[in-house]
Structures are given as structure tokens and as C-alpha cells.
Amino acid sequence: MESLATNLHQTLGSRVGALGSREGDSPTRRDVLRLAAGLGLSFALPGLNLRAASRRGKDRPKSLMTIWLGGGPSQLETWDPHPGTAIGGPTRAIPTKLPGVQIADLYPRTAEQIHHLSLIRSMVSKEGDHERGTYLLKTGYRPAPALIHPSVGAVLVHELPDPRIEIPQHISLCSTRWPQRGGYFGAEYDAFQVYNPGINIPNMKSRAGNRARERQRLKSLDVVSQALGRGRRFQIKKTLHRNTIAGALKMMASKQLKAFELKDEPKAVVAAYGDTQFGRGCLVARRLVEQGVRAVEINLNGFDTHAGNFTGHKTQADILDPALAALINDLKQRALLESTVLLCIGEFGRTPRINPADGRDHWPTGFSCLIGGGGIKGGQVLGETDPTGKMKTPRNPIQVNQLYATVFSALGVDDKKELITPIGRPMTFSDGKPIKRLL
């Protein structure tokens, strides 16, 4: 039986006895949560039935898909090249399906699909450090000493829960140093991390051997749970361990788990995305959104090119270009783009100046992103950077909070809704205004 509770089964088999061996002691909440912690799930487990999953176009529930380019991609080697200038380097430009718009020649396949999205060339941020920049670009807020903001994906799951989804609604694919977090909503809204999508998802299969043994282990778990609750009837209601266990058991029998697998995909489709971890991640992301998952992040690291910028970006483009182009085309052909906001962005851009190591350094002013779908207009080009590199501020600068106010608006979330955080501070989901040209 397929199961996402392997750790539950394994640890129960090996540790329930150990918990009971402390003579005179009852298991603590920490004991039980430790047993379930290996599941690594975000148990705000709310889901689509087959009929709902088959809906297409505007009738579907909306989702957010974020392609995260970790390290800070160079705008000059992606979506805003300036060939033949002092800052352009060896990168050339190629035409796209957007009339009069050129992108770096490293992205010929994306050039054929980019007209479905809009291009922002004037993103600005006040954070030039990787960790702080990532925090800002994933939450819409700068880091604060006493408060952890929820990521945009966590906000969507919190505000748009779907009780039909039996798998996590907030998922991060491929490895990343700073995955999306639940912030002041709590750890249950953290993104569920899948490090090697389409190949191996840990803790998906039961090792109990047979159903009888599996039932016995679940009975053992029930003994532990009852011991935990003995004399703590009111306190136990405040814990999450019962929700954790119930969520795991619900998931282990769900057909929606197939969204994580690629064995049913035609070989030609898999090949179109590229035989890479990131390519498989993009394909799994499409399957997850098709199933009704609310927020998916696909991570591609390696853009921190302080040295060897041009060879580094060529290596990354060989991975990103086929996967991104195939994903845009797939979403469009399957009528999923109308219900899916697709955002491709990193924590900042890179300097117009080329340093002595043939690299580019951090540049939080005038960087680029792609965005579209889910009610956001395609075919738009916003902002402009100085081809000489002398003017730091781009034309029509777009702040991060404006970007996410636009995303929330497209997805139907009231970004000005005020919540009181655990430290008693009133907060809204965004303090920016939507970009009218994109809505």
C-alpha cells in the first residue's frame, strides 16, 4: 500500500517500546510529535476530486507557480540584454514572439513562448544580501526583528483553503536554502519540500510488509496517543499531533499522490522539459497544479555568478530554457494558464559592470522577472534599464510589494485584510498597490 507515513510506521515499530520503557512515565506531546515529525508535511491538508481536477480554463480554482532562480540571475543574460554596449558582454539578443522585444540568445525556446507572459524589466529592491533579498522576494516584506512573515504561497493556502485536496497545498520542489515558510501562520503552512521530484519522494511507501502489520502499528500509535491525552483533555486540543496523524493516514490512501509521479507521462513530454532535476520539477509542478495544489515553488540554484558570469549563465540556461518553455506551452495547451499565475524571479539581478573575474555582482536595482497567467495579462513589457549602465534607477520602477499586490489581486486574495500576529502586531498581506497594466 502506497503510504506517506513510512516514518510513522518505522518509528512506531522501533520507538513505541522505547517510549513505554520509561517506567512510570506517560509519553509527552514532544514524544508523539517527534514520531510524526519525520513525515515532513504541512498538515494544513486541505483537495480536488476527479471532476474538479478535469475542469479547465477560468472554471478552475487558481494556483501560483513560482520558478525561483536562486543566487540572483543576471537580467543582461536573461530577459534584458544590451548587446554591443560596454555592459553587454558577449551575450547576444534574439527576437521573440513579442513584437520588438528581444531576450538573451541563451533562451531560444522561451523566446517562442514568452508572449503568453509579461516581462518586467524594472524590478527594484532595497535588499542586496542573498538571505534578506530572498526573504523580501518570497514574502513581499523586508525582514523584521520580531516577526517572520508568511511567504506568498503560505498566504494563499491560508486564505484559499480547499478541503478536497489530500496532499499538501504548499509545495517546494528541488533543493533551496530558504524555502517558503508559514511565518506567523505557523509551521503547518511551511512548504512541503521534495528534493528530487519525479524520481524519489521520501516516506511515500509503507515498509510494514503487509496490512495486518500495518494495522498493528497503527493500533500501537493509538495507544501512544491515548496515553498522551490521559489527564490532558483540554491541553490536547491545543496540540497538532492528532491532525498530523489524521493527515498522514488520509494522504497515504489518496490517489492524488500520483501527481508526484512521472511514470504516466509520455516520454516525449518528459524529454521536452529536459532530463534534469529542475526539468522534472517543472513537470511535477504542472501535475500538482492540475490536481489543484494551491502554491508550488520550483527551485533552480546557481545564478550567483561573481566569477565566470557568462559561462555560469550558459550552464543554467541549458537547464532553464527547455523546462520553462515546455511548462508555459504545457499550461497553455492544457488550458491551465488561465487559472495559474506563473512567476519566474530571483532575489535580485546582477551589476551592469563586469568585474575583473569576468563576473557580475549583486544588483537589487533594475532586475527582471516574467509573470503571467491566472488573470494577469500577457504580452506586456514594463520598465526599461539604461543600456550604458550609468543610470542606476530604471524607468518605471516596480517595487516588490506592487508585484505581490498584483498577484494577490489576480488570485482573489484581499491583500489589505488585516490580521493580528502572535506578537499583537496588525499586519496586511501586502502594503503595495496592484500594477494596473497587468490586470
- Domain end position, chosen among 230, 256, 282: 256
CATH of the domain at 70: 3.40.720.10
81 found inside a domain = yes
Residue 174 shares a structural domain with residue 233: no
Residue 243 shares a structural domain with residue 266: no
Task: For residue 277, give the nearest of 194, 346, 203 by alpha carbon.
Answer: 194
Q: How many domains does the structure of the chain reveal?
A: 2
* pLDDT one-digit tens code per residue, 356-373: 999 999 999 999 999 999
44 found inside a domain = no
162 found inside a domain = yes
173 found inside a domain = yes
Residue 218 shares a structural domain with residue 348: no
- Domain end position, chosen among 232, 256, 280: 256
Residue 356 shares a structural domain with residue 242: no
Residue 285 shares a structural domain with residue 213: no
Residue 9 shares a structural domain with residue 118: no
Task: For residue 283, give the nearest of 301, 268, 294 by alpha carbon.
Answer: 268
Burial letters for 324-359: b for 16+ Cβ neighbours within 10 Å, e otherwise?
bbbbbbbbeeeebbbbbbbbbbbbbbbbbebeeebb
Q: Can you give the residue range of the structural domain that contains 421?
A: 50-198+261-438
Residue 12 shares a structural domain with residue 136: no
Residue 225 pLDDT greater than 80, yes or no: no
Give one word for 358, left, alpha or beta, with left for phi > 0 and alpha for psi -120 to 50: left
Residue 41 pLDDT greater than 60, yes or no: no
- Domain end position, chosen among 256, 279, 295: 256
Residue 369 shares a structural domain with residue 247: no
CA distance 234 to 376: 47
* pLDDT at residue 250 in the model: 63
The one-character DSSP state at 76 is G
Give one word for 422, left, alpha or beta, with left for phi > 0 and alpha for psi -120 to 50: alpha
* pLDDT one-digit tens code per residue, 139-170: 999 999 989 999 999 999 999 999 999 999 99
Q: How confident is the model at residue 254 (pLDDT cuts 50, 70, 90)?
A: confident
Beta-bridge partner residues of 382: 120
Residue 241 shares a structural domain with residue 194: no
372 found inside a domain = yes
184 found inside a domain = yes
* pLDDT one-digit tens code per residue, 178-196: 999 999 999 999 999 999 9
Residue 248 shares a structural domain with residue 106: no
Look at the block and give the residue holding cell 501586502. 430
Reported pTM: 0.82
Residue 244 shares a structural domain with residue 326: no
Give one word for 19, left, alpha or beta, with left for phi > 0 and alpha for psi -120 to 50: alpha
DSSP string, 357-404: TS---EE-EEEEEEEEBTTBPSS-EE-B--TTS---SPBS-EEHHHHH
281 found inside a domain = yes
45 found inside a domain = no
Q: Is 264:286 a contact under the CB 8 Å cutoff?
A: no
CA distance 293 to 206: 24
Residue 239 shares a structural domain with residue 383: no
Tell me the angle at which helices 211-229 and 6-20 cross, rounded to the nearest 10 degrees.
50
